[in-house]
């Protein structure tokens, strides 16, 4: 049984990103412990680049915000899934702030060995997801993480658009794939 944390980077409650993350969580939750973490529910400040976390004895960040709660969740996870809307060929600003705060020695205490990616964009450009997917691959390679796969959905502009496509099923199947022996 895996311990999976899904970071949802959308501030729009009940939106396409949250729906896909929910479908993934439903599939993965059949035989795994899954926690969905919405950045909309936390106050997380951007990294200031002070690097004090590198010299502090406990590697704690000097900022007093909710990131300490996220660190605790990530310490317990072996699989991380990042779900985000796509804004100007990148993940949401709120999720990016969280990701940047992982630039800390604390990440060395995490047990995360696998990474997944769920992206939703309104545009239908063929290369819409390329910048984020490239970053995802580089992170997997740098941290020696196994990619569990991606769900990339374009053309989903209005809230709920993903319900009328095969994307919900694809997200569910990616999650349920983690239930198979050896996955």
Q: Which helix (H) or strand (E) holds 27?
A: helix 16-28
CA distances from 53 to 50, 93, 100, 106, 126 (A): 8, 22, 13, 8, 40
- The DSSP code sequence of 31-99 is TSEEEEEEGGGS--PPP----HHHHSTT---SS-STHHHHHHHHHH-SEEEEEEE-BTTB--HHHHHHH
Ordered mean pLDDT values, 10 residues apiece, the chain (183 residues): 96 96 97 96 96 92 95 96 97 96 91 97 96 97 96 96 92 90 51
Domains of the chain and any CATH numbers: 3-177 (3.40.50.360)
Residue with tokens 């999650």: 175
CA atoms of 157 and 120, how far apart (whole Å): 9
CA atoms of 21 and 176, how far apart (whole Å): 13
pLDDT of residue 62: 93
Residues in Cβ contact with 27 at an 8 Å cutoff, skipping those fewer than 6 apart? 171, 172, 173, 174, 175, 176, 177, 178, 179
pLDDT of residue 183: 54
pTM score, two decimals? 0.95
């Amino acid at each position: 049984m895996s311990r999976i944390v899904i970071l949802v980077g959308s501030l729009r409650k009940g939106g396409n990103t949250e729906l896909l993350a929910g479908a993934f969580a439903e599939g993965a939750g059949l035989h795994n412990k899954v926690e969905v973490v919405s950045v909309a529910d936390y106050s997380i400040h951007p990294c200031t680049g002070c690097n004090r976390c590198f010299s502090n004895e406990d590697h704690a960040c000097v900022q007093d915000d909710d990131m300490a709660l996220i660190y605790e969740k990530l310490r317990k996870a072996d699989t991380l899934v990042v779900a985000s809307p796509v804004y100007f060929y990148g993940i949401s600003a709120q999720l990016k702030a969280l990701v940047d705060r992982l630039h800390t020695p604390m990440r060395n205490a995490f047990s995360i060995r696998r990474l997944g990616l769920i992206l939703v964009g309104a545009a239908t450009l063929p290369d819409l997801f390329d910048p984020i997917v490239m970053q995802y691959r580089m992170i997997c390679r740098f941290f020696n993480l196994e990619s569990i796969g991606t769900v990339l959905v374009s053309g989903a502009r209005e809230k709920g658009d993903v319900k009328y496509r095969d994307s919900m099923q694809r997200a569910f199947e990616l999650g349920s794939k983690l239930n198979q022996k050896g996955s």
